[in-house]
Amino acid sequence: MRVAMMALAAGAMVAIAGVAVAQAPSVGDAVKLRQANMKQMGGAMKTLADMVKSGTVDKAAGTEAAKRIDGHAQSLLTWYPVGSGPETGLETKAKPEIWARQDDFKKAADGLKAETAKLQLAVGSGDAAKLGAQVQAIGKACGTCHEQFRSK
Contact 17, 78 (CB under 8 A): no
Q: What was the pLDDT predicted at 19?
A: 44
The answer to whether the pTM exceeds 0.75 is yes
**Which of 2-11, 53-62, 83-92 is predicted with the least confidence, judged by mean pLDDT?**
2-11
User: Which tens digit of pLDDT belongs to each residue from 94-109?
Assistant: 999 999 999 999 999 9
Is 10's pLDDT higher than 80?
no
Residue 76 and residue 129: Cα distance in Å, rounded?
A: 27
Contact 38, 76 (CB under 8 A): no
Residue 70 and residue 117: Cα distance in Å, rounded?
A: 6
Domain residue ranges in the chain: 26-149
Superfamily of domain 26-149: Cytochrome c/b562 (1.20.120.10)
Contact 57, 123 (CB under 8 A): yes
Burial group, residue 148, by CB count within 10 angstroms (0-12, 13-18, 19+): middle
Residue 94's DSSP bridge partners are: 150
What is the pLDDT confidence band of residue 17, given thresholds at 50, 70 and 90? Answer: very low
User: Which tens digit of pLDDT belongs to each residue from 105-128?
Assistant: 999 999 999 999 999 999 999 999
**Which of 24-33, 42-51, 89-98 is predicted with the least confidence, judged by mean pLDDT?**
24-33
